[in-house]
Each structure stands twice: as C-alpha cells, then as structure tokens.
Amino acid sequence: RKMALELLDDLLSVSKDEDSTLFFMGTIMLSLPQEASHTYLHQTTAEVFDGQQRLTTLVLILIAAWKISLGVE
C-alpha cells in the first residue's frame, strides 16, 4: 500500500509540473506464444513475466480514478 501511494503521489506531482515531460516507471515485459510471433496484432493474450506488480498497481489506480470520476465509492 505504501508503495502504491508513493507511485500515485509521484504521478500527481509529475502531472502538476509544467516542465516535466518524462516519467520513467520501469519496464513491463510480455511473452507471446511462439506461434503468435508473426500475428502479434491479432494476439489477444500475452504473459507478463516482469512488471506484474507495477501493472496491477496502475490498473488499480485507474479503476479508483474512474470510480471517483463517476461518483462511485
């Protein structure tokens, strides 16, 4: 929870800073099935093998922001 709050605070700080143009959040690495290597654009699933926690935290922040924007608790 502490790290998620720090990430949210960092995102809010960057969004308020007019001079800030970049924010590095790390990497998210995906693995596609070997048979899908030539049809990447048509592939609907991929395995996340690095960055799972980062991705999950960002999704939860987006869900919370969406709920707040709708007035849902």
Q: How many C-beta atoms lie closer than 10 Å to residue 22's C-beta?
A: 5
Position 38 scores a pLDDT of: 56
pLDDT at residue 67, rounded to an integer: 92
The SS3 call for residue 24 is: coil
Q: Which stretches does DSSP call E strand in the chain? A: 29-31, 47-50
Question: In the chain, which residues have pLDDT < 50?
Answer: none
pLDDT digits (tens, 9 = 90+) for 34-54: 665 555 566 567 789 999 988
